[in-house]
Chain A
Amino acid sequence: MKTKELHHLLYRAAFGPTPQMVKELKGMTREQVVNRLFDDADRIQDLMIIPKPETNDKGEVGPLKTVGLILKSQKEKDLLNLAWIDRMTVAKASLREKMILFWHNHFATSAPFGWLMQVQHNTLRRLALGSFVEMLHEISKDPAMIIWLNNQQNKKNAPNENFAREVMELFTLGEGNGYTERDIKEAARAFTGWFVNQKGEFEFNEKQHDDDNKTVFGNTGNWNGNHIIDFLLAKQETATYLCRKIYKTFVNNTVDEKRVADLASRFRTSNYNIEDLMRHIFMSDWFYASENIGAVICSPVELIVRFKKLVQFQVDDKQQLAYQDLLGQTLFSPPNVAGWKGGRAWIDSSTLLFRLNIPTTIINSNAIKLNKRPAFEEKDRGEKPQKDQQVVVKSDWGVLVNYFKDVPAEQLTDEVIQFFITAPATRISSALIEQHVDTSTPQRRIITTIAAVMKLPEFQLI
């Protein structure tokens, strides 16, 4: 496949081209590369950094320990965030990681229990390229989700509609699309008694379940949550809604409704086979059409992973969390259940300038120490306005330098642009880049050329 197409595919199905991947995949056909990416994605290894909470002899956590778990949950979620980003950086299964990222944004959860967030994450990890039918059923019984959307409080005599509303509005049909307020109320009754026990596991509490008839989408019966999920999966709107989101994330931030409709009918016919859908997208000619190349704005997490993969970018954990806070994406802490909006919402004046400045801090090997906005629980720490402090930024340019070392100096800028930028380069001035390149040694020339290209707005497009 052509270089540009390969790089485009690697941006969408992985975390962008790296010298190693490009060397390995160059010269292969589209089918061979796609097969390779899916083969690599087959390997599933749980993320395991939060220890299982201690329990008493009945296997239960108990109320006192529960409070303790809540108190340390933000810290644990931050640890999960860091560990997952490290995993994305080193994992061969890049496509799986990208899919988990997509599903984490789709089922955006931030329950106040680190262990349960890890359990949910590993469910998404296992099913990321599997069946959406299975995924929706499992997520509806997922302890973190049940707590996050208050199904714990959804009882026979006092239904709580939060989960029933969001499963329709955000997880399947889309807002205001194919359901009524009455459907939500009735569906909430069907989910009564789906709760999390003291072991941190899903349990069906028959006593709290409403056993009367419910009418949902015009069907009357003594439905439970499983029935509702199957009703939702039977609706074409669900397939369309999901495929539109997939399209926006993996193909183009601007949606082509005709393509989405085609994808949706395929997705539903395959009984929501995610791998089949993704394989179809990456194998399609239209995926490689020029209007779809460089048409997605890279998310903050993807941007950080790109820097980590390319130059072994590393700052201390606190600083990285502050970066993510500033750029607007800390995993396991989405803004709310609607997730991150993505696309142009990633970019405002503050985030753009910060993104473009990262290469400078890498070149300088230091950055100004940043503070994450204080958590609500923290005491005020702003008593004295703080003086700027420096922190170390680690990096290693060896692999990139080696990759470009045989390129003649006069071709270097163009080759570097071609390697990193898939979007149209019409507004890129090679002269501007070359003006600011350090030519003192061949190595410095390569490093500063790459850093300059990384400062271009086009580098934010994948």
Chain B
Amino acid sequence: MSKYSRKDFLKLSGLASASLFLPNFLKGMGAGTDPRMSEMLLPVTNGKRLVVIQLSGGNDGLNTVVPRGDDLYYSNRSGLGLKGAELINLDTYFSLNAKLQGLADLYMNGEVAIINSVGYPNPNRSHFRSLDIWQSASDADKYVQSGWVGRWLDSACSNGDYKPYYALELDDAMSLALKGNTLSGIAVSNPKRMNAMMQDPVIYKTAKAWTAHEDDEHHIEYLHKTLAQTEMSVQTIYDKSGRKLSKAIYPGHAFGKHLKMIAELIMADAETSVFYISLPGFDTHAGQKNQQGRLLNVYGDALKAFAQDLKSVNRWNDTLVMTFSEFGRRVKQNASAGTDHGTANVMLLAGGGLKKKGILNEAPDLKNLVDGDLQFKVDFRRIYASVLKNWLGADANGILGATFETMDFV
């Protein structure tokens, strides 16, 4: 007996050949395979998508991308320093934490770029404040009440083509990052639950009854319009995330579940350009090795599954995954086999469309520290600017409120 029954074969071949004759609007119902489609779906970003991963708590970059060739790494990290089987060597100097096997596989494939020593002037070591700085993309001495992804919406959708799910956070609550000055993204953790909320008849019918009152400046119009947009967004996300298109195996962790949902949305041709997702738990003041290792393992495996799903529908080349944490950690380990809050940190980029791969800049300088912490070499807003301008085709200067030199990794 062959592995596939005749019925299976007919089903597969029938689908494959039939799809050649499918009109474009029907293809949108299934998995996208036509590269032109994404440009039509995402006119604002020319078919490109961005996935932002926030490793909350302050991920220890030195034990993520390890400067194995630097003796200072081991003298500062006796015990916590990774060696031997704890490492996957990238070159003669750098290694990845061996828990990142999934990421290492992508790296070997030329699908990862690493930028060392990313930070900002006058670093803040408070989780809240530093995350606030990263999400608002502000100077350390400025307090800004909008986020950079939200301001991207303000700018990219200024022609009136706006739907909240153009920027989607996989969470119950929406981060500052997605709040613009006038427009915002949407946060959805569980589409089914949100859809159930939307189905309340009074709420649903009120949403459906909305018709635009263009020149009405009153809050009433704003609230009704937001409700109508919400209904449409929830409907779309609920529908597109529920088609079971993903074939890859994700870690059994909330983060894996959410990254899988992003894959399914992309595979169902959702018109979302920016996805935002967090993986918390990186505040490793004590017993770091296990805790960080477990989380990095989830992160790397989820990312590999995600790449596999997107490759199967030719979307990996149009997708960029950017990973950051609000700060790195102190170079010298503490007395509890952990590390305390630090400053500059490594940033990871992954995707099939990277123009520059591998390690893009010099190794972190473990010698010239300030108060025991790394000095930043690359302002994080240079990376935001590069992604905004070169990837999303957006007005980076306007969105960031200043000019940052771009880099050429995309």
Minimum C-beta distance from B230 to chain A (A) = 4
Q: In the docked arrangement, what's the CA distance between A295 and B221, Å?
A: 12
- Chain A interface residue count, Cβ-Cβ cutoff 8 angstroms: 67
Majority DSSP secondary structure for residues of A touching B:
loop
Question: Is A350 within 8 A of B129, CB to CB?
Answer: no
Minimum C-beta distance from A302 to chain B (A) = 15
Q: Which residues of B contact A253 (CB under 8 A)?
A: 219
Q: In the docked arrangement, what's the CA distance between A297 and B194, Å?
A: 23
| B226 (CB) vs chain A CBs: closest residue | A352
Q: Which residues of B contact A322 (CB under 8 A)?
A: 172
| Residue in A162, A348, A388 whose CB lies within 8 Å of B141 | A162
Could you mark each residue 62-105 of chain B with 1 if its beta carbon is under 8 Å from any beta carbon of chain A, else 0? 00000000000000000000000000000000000000000000
- Asked if A172 is at the interface (CB within 8 A of a chain B CB), the reply is no
Residues of B208-250 at the interface with A, using a CB-CB cut-off of 8 Å, are 209, 217-220, 222-224, 226-227, 229-230, 233-234
Minimum C-beta distance from A289 to chain B (A) = 14
Residues of A426-462 at the interface with B, using a CB-CB cut-off of 8 Å, are 426-427, 429, 432-433, 435-436, 452, 455-458, 460-461
Best-buried of A354, A379, A424 by chain B (most CB within 10 Å): A379
Q: In the docked arrangement, what's the CA distance between A383 and B144, Å?
A: 33
Residues of A336-392 at the interface with B, using a CB-CB cut-off of 8 Å, are 336-338, 341, 344-345, 347-354, 356-357, 360, 368, 370-371, 373-374, 376-386, 388
- Asked if A97 is at the interface (CB within 8 A of a chain B CB), the reply is no
- Asked if B201 is at the interface (CB within 8 A of a chain A CB), the reply is yes
- Asked if B206 is at the interface (CB within 8 A of a chain A CB), the reply is yes
Question: Is A370 within 8 A of B227, CB to CB?
Answer: no
- Asked if B145 is at the interface (CB within 8 A of a chain A CB), the reply is yes
Residues of B361-395 at the interface with A, using a CB-CB cut-off of 8 Å, are none
Question: Is A385 within 8 A of B173, CB to CB?
Answer: no
Minimum C-beta distance from A182 to chain B (A) = 15
| A110 (CB) vs chain B CBs: closest residue | B128
- Asked if A326 is at the interface (CB within 8 A of a chain B CB), the reply is yes
Say whether, besides A349-B230, A429-B209, A452 and B202 are in contact (CB < 8 Å): yes
- Asked if A34 is at the interface (CB within 8 A of a chain B CB), the reply is no
Question: Is B209 within 8 A of A348, CB to CB?
Answer: no
Q: In the docked arrangement, what's the CA distance between A341 and B127, Å?
A: 21
Question: Is A348 within 8 A of B184, CB to CB?
Answer: yes
- Asked if A9 is at the interface (CB within 8 A of a chain B CB), the reply is no
Q: Which residues of B contact A338 (CB under 8 A)?
A: 143-145
Question: Is B205 within 8 A of A432, CB to CB?
Answer: yes
Q: In the docked arrangement, what's the CA distance between A356 and B230, Å?
A: 12
- Chain B interface residue count, Cβ-Cβ cutoff 8 angstroms: 62
Q: In the docked arrangement, what's the CA distance between A305 and B269, Å?
A: 42
Among B108-116, B185-193, B331-339, the one that faces the other chain is B185-193
Q: Which residues of A contact B279 (CB under 8 A)?
A: 380
Residues of B34-84 at the interface with A, using a CB-CB cut-off of 8 Å, are 56-58
- Asked if B257 is at the interface (CB within 8 A of a chain A CB), the reply is yes
Q: In the docked arrangement, what's the CA distance between A301 and B217, Å?
A: 25
Q: In the docked arrangement, what's the CA distance between A461 and B221, Å?
A: 12
Q: Which residues of A contact B185 (CB under 8 A)?
A: 348-349
Q: Which residues of A contact B198 (CB under 8 A)?
A: 353
| Residue in B144, B217, B224 whose CB lies within 8 Å of A427 | B224
- Asked if B310 is at the interface (CB within 8 A of a chain A CB), the reply is no
Q: In the docked arrangement, what's the CA distance between A37 and B224, Å?
A: 33
Q: Which residues of A contact B194 (CB under 8 A)?
A: 353
Q: Which residues of B contact A456 (CB under 8 A)?
A: 202, 206
Q: Which residues of B contact A347 (CB under 8 A)?
A: 222-223, 226
Q: Which residues of B contact A432 (CB under 8 A)?
A: 202, 205-206, 209
Q: In the docked arrangement, what's the CA distance between A377 and B283, Å?
A: 6
| A451 (CB) vs chain B CBs: closest residue | B202
Q: In the docked arrangement, what's the CA distance between A383 and B255, Å?
A: 8
Question: Is A352 within 8 A of B223, CB to CB?
Answer: yes
Say whether, besides A384-B252, A457-B206, A353 and B141 are in contact (CB < 8 Å): no
Question: Is A385 within 8 A of B202, CB to CB?
Answer: no
| A351 (CB) vs chain B CBs: closest residue | B174
Question: Is A349 within 8 A of B200, CB to CB?
Answer: no
Question: Is B283 within 8 A of A457, CB to CB?
Answer: no
Question: Is B56 within 8 A of A376, CB to CB?
Answer: yes
Question: Is B223 within 8 A of A458, CB to CB?
Answer: yes
Q: In the docked arrangement, what's the CA distance between A336 and B193, Å?
A: 31
| Residue in B186, B187, B201, B219 whose CB lies within 8 Å of A344 | B219
Question: Is A350 within 8 A of B219, CB to CB?
Answer: no
Minimum C-beta distance from A32 to chain B (A) = 30
Question: Is A348 within 8 A of B226, CB to CB?
Answer: yes
Could you list some 26 contacts between A and B, CB below 8 A?
A169-B143, A335-B132, A335-B145, A336-B143, A344-B219, A345-B179, A347-B226, A348-B179, A348-B185, A348-B187, A348-B226, A349-B186, A350-B174, A350-B187, A352-B227, A353-B234, A357-B200, A373-B173, A374-B281, A376-B57, A376-B127, A380-B281, A385-B253, A385-B254, A432-B205, A456-B202
A-B pairs with the 8 shortest C-beta distances?
Answer: A380-B281, A382-B254, A457-B223, A338-B143, A348-B184, A349-B230, A376-B127, A349-B186
